[in-house]
């Protein structure tokens, strides 16, 4: 019989490799939660500026549940270690998404456990590139509210007047 934790272990190693490739010093706490009496996060990562303690969960189904005691231990460890606590979730055929345990998108059940739905992860989670500082999430509402900047409007106006060719305008944009 195959190890029931094999897929989760593989996903944690995948996360460790991605963080390493992004320039983080990273380690996976092997058998976190069962190898020691102290509750440890699944992954510790730091790049000299940002330090994360991550409780990582993956699932083929929806939603992902986390035990309330795991999250309490994550918060305790993070506070004492000086790391930012993060819940990392990965659904099959999706990327990693990250949340602070206190985010509104993370639902706390009546029993004190935590739940992240796939649709919530995709809509509100921090993706890997944003976590490691390679991008910043911009919502459609933010783009729609701001509209184009004055430089873009000036180039489009010049094109409409015939002052610029389509190629010149495209190059300037």
Within 13 Å and on the Cβ side, how many CA atoms surround 69?
Answer: 3
Rounded CA separation 78/116 (Å): 20
136 is in an annotated binding site: no
Residue that has been written with the tokens 């019989």 in this structure = 1
Catalytic residue numbers read 32
Strand 51-59 relative to strand 107-108, pairing: unpaired
DSSP H or E stretch at residue 33: none
95 is in an annotated binding site: no
1, two tokens: 């019989």
12 is in an annotated binding site: yes
The annotation places the binding site at: 12, 42, 55
The annotation places the binding site for Mg(2+) at: 12, 42, 55
């Amino acid at each position: 019989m195959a190890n029931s934790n094999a897929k989760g272990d593989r996903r944690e190693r995948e996360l460790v490799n991605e963080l390493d490739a992004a320039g983080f010093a990273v380690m996976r706490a092997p058998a976190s939660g069962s190898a020691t009496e102290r509750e440890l996060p699944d992954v510790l990562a730091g790049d000299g500026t940002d330090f994360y303690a991550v409780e990582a969960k993956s699932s083929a189904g929806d939603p992902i549940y986390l035990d309330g005691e795991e999250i309490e231990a994550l918060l305790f460890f993070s506070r004492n270690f000086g790391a930012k606590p993060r819940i990392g979730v990965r659904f099959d055929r999706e990327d990693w998404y990250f949340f602070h345990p206190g985010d509104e998108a993370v639902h706390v059940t009546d029993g004190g456990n935590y739940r992240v739905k796939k649709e919530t992860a995709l809509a509100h989670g921090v993706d890997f590139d944003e976590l490691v500082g390679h991008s910043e999430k911009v919502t459609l509402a933010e783009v729609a509210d701001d509209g184009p900047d004055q430089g873009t409007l000036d180039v489009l106006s010049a094109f409409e007047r015939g002052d610029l060719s389509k190629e010149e305008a495209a190059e300037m944009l």
